[in-house]
Amino acid sequence: MKLETKYHGILNYDEEDVITFTKGLPGLQELKKFILIDFEGNPVFKILHSIENKEIGLVAVSPFDVVNEYEFELKDYVIEKLKITDSSEVLVLNTVTLSSKAEEITTNLKAPIIINIKSKLGEQIIIDNEKYMIKHPVLRSE
């Protein structure tokens, strides 16, 4: 299948690539179907692109590429809803806010997107942990 996007050109995908968010994503509740594609030229980033709206593509990153000790516990209802049977089925991503200044690029560690790569179900959750920020810098200042 082909998806003609506004910002990323034509994307090719198969029906089995579609991830369903039954509740949508916060602010995008009407959009339920997304595909995950590589960010051209930077393997650390991904694009979670709506197949229902050619203009909506969220830049995302694995929190483990940003914070080594990132951890949280999935609630039982999320495990059930996403049909998770093993931790190897779980992909965790966090949305990224881009900026023309590299030091101002941030990721939302407070609200990870959880995807079961086997069942192709996803949901964004909120972590109740003070150490994770909504605007965590992606680049570490050493």
Can you read off the two tokens belonging to residue 3?
């998806």
Cα–Cα distance, 56 to 19 (Å, whole number): 15
Q: Which pLDDT value is given to residue 142?
A: 46
- Nearest Cα neighbor of 123 from 85, 87, 79 is 79
**pTM value > 0.85:** yes
Q: What is the pLDDT of residue 76?
A: 95
**pLDDT by position in tens, the chain (length 142):** 999 888 888 888 999 999 999 999 999 999 999 999 988 778 889 999 999 999 999 999 999 999 988 999 999 999 999 999 999 999 999 999 988 998 899 999 999 999 999 999 999 999 999 999 999 999 865 4
Per-residue model confidence (pLDDT) at position 141 = 55
Question: d(Cα 117, Cα 114) in Å, to the nearest integer?
Answer: 9
- Residue 68, pLDDT score: 84
Domain range summary for the chain, segments of one domain joined by +: 2-137
Give the position of tokens 């997304």.
34
Instruction: Give CATH for domain 2-137.
Output: 2.30.290.10
- CA distances to 19, 46, 69, 98, 100 from 104, in Å: 29, 18, 22, 7, 8
What pLDDT shows up at residue 6?
85
